Amino acid sequence: MPTKIVVPELGESVVEATVGHWRKNQGDRVAVGDVLVELETEKVDLEVGAERGGVLARIERKEGEDVKIGEVLGVIEEAPAEEKAAAPGDETKPVEKEATVETVGTVKTVESVKTGIGEAGGRTGAEASAEEGGKTKRLVTPLARRVAEEHGINLSEIRPSDAAGRIRQRDVESFLQSRAPEAAAAPWPLEKPAPRPPAPSQPSTSQLVPGAPGSRPRLEERVRMSRRRQTIARRLVEAQHTAAMLTTFNEIDMTEVMQLRARWKEKFKSQHGVSLGIASFFLKAAIGALRQFPQLNAEIQGTEMVLKHYYDIGVAVGAPEGLVVPVLRDADQMGFAEIEKGIKEFARKASAGELTLDELRGGTFTISNGGVYGSMLSTPILNPPQVGILGLHKIENRAVPVEGKVEIRPMMYVALSYDHRIVDGMEAVQFLVRVKELVEDPASLLFAL
């Protein structure tokens, strides 16, 4: 009996998606749990798996098409009788054979496939392939392979922690951490996402267009924007059209924070397993200032403003397909180590495309750090329905007057964009001054919360 592959529930307020990349071709054999197709939504990418084994008989919706919840993506039919007969033991549930990496000769990655139990005289397919041709092969889970490919890692260098010898995602991440330089040098996100070429779901076309008379033709390339990029573009325009957005600036002397980090970074990292960056200082300072100026931790609903007496702080993180803002829930209840671990995990998930809808939903205030990319000064755009966003920038040594003398100090420009409909300029300026006071005297953070 044919089984329809339908668009699943996409999450709260998300009703439409775009067909990204079909992992299987029409006519391919599929097993239960195989990922068939990737769907792009405005928040996260989703994988749709096979609920039963058989053959992918038809693909109803092509890559790039928009689909809604419940619509049919394709059809799975039972495998032909001869294929069933050719697989003894097919009555047992197929098990996944992870991608394998040859450790003799040229190292290469083999795509993940499915195999049944009972092949090669009682050995599993993985064991049989591992012994084929006298070569030793290692098993690699698909997620570990994807993370390794994104970071250009040779899988033969990784030692698996699995008793069965499988290389798992955690092994790849441990290898990345072991070879990475001191993470404290990058405030946050701790790791810039590796640039990736357009995915198969973003087809491009190139063409030569005539230049000016007497000049050579010009090469242009058209790349379809992903649904997430389209959503980002739409929301940024909406933010400027629907809010009375203004930005105020200040500068912060980072001397005390930098000295405190230098004194405690080794002990902090050995005790908590994460580096002490600047993120936790600014997040704590922002919460202290929000308590004093609650209009910046609010939103407008009709003719009312909703003041929120909880602090779910959004952290802007660069991802390969565009900026995302995961949320640290009840950040006022978190310690420095919890904040740093949370932000580091968000950066990892954003790079690997693993952020969930729940992690991106909500938020009462946002902090964005353009300084990690070298930005000296910018005007951050509001993340509706929030009415405030704090922008951090690159720390630069500058000559500043200190008690009648000129000294070289590590300085940072900070920017606060706010919705002037419910936040007055005086409140915005005082908020930023309060953030400055708390960061320049880190000990005061103990009494501000």
Q: Which residues are catalytic?
A: 420, 424
Nearest to 199, CA basis, from 110, 320, 318, 113: 320
In this structure, what DSSP letter does residue 295 have?
G
Q: Under a CB-based contact definition with an 8 Å cutoff, are residues 145 and 99 in contact?
A: yes
In sequence order, the 6+-apart residues with CB closer than 8 A to the CB of 10 are: 16, 17, 39, 41, 46, 69, 357
Alpha helices (H) in 47-162, listed in sequence order: 81-85, 125-131, 142-150
Distance CA 138, CA 159 (A): 10
Q: Under a CB-based contact definition with an 8 Å cutoff, are residues 420 and 387 in contact?
A: no
Distance CA 268, CA 336 (A): 10
Distance CA 32, CA 299 (A): 45
Task: Round to the nearest angstrom and report the end-to-end CA distance of the chain.
Answer: 62
Q: Under a CB-based contact definition with an 8 Å cutoff, are residues 370 and 395 in contact?
A: no
Sort strands 388-392 and 365-369 into parallel, antiparallel or unpaired. parallel
